[in-house]
Amino acid sequence: MDCLDRLPPDLVARFHQSPWELEMPVYTTGGISVAQDRAMQRAEREAFAPWKHALARARQAGQAGGAAKRRRDRAERRKSPCTSAGPV
């Protein structure tokens, strides 16, 4: 670990006593490059864009439909007198 030289000696000693399961995982240097990662993220965004737009339209339609239903329900409640007698 790079920062051990800046830690107090007693903390460094405790650090070396910790079990290996608690140590940070070793990251491999291989794999994809930053440019490849960006390209994959861009491709994923483009692939899911139609789904995101469809979900947004459905959400808006649901909210608009819900608002219209609430307005109708409110209007009906205003028209009809309160008929509930409450608990008996």
Interval 13-45: pLDDT, tens? 887 787 777 777 776 667 888 898 899 999 999
For residues 24 and 47, the model is more confident at 47
Structure pTM? 0.38
The tokens for 14 are 């405790």
Q: What is the mean pLDDT of residues 50-72?
A: 84
pLDDT given for residue 27 in this prediction: 67
Do 11 and 3 contact (CB within 8 A), yes or no? no
pLDDT score of 84 more than 70: no
pLDDT given for residue 47 in this prediction: 94
Do 66 and 73 contact (CB within 8 A), yes or no? no
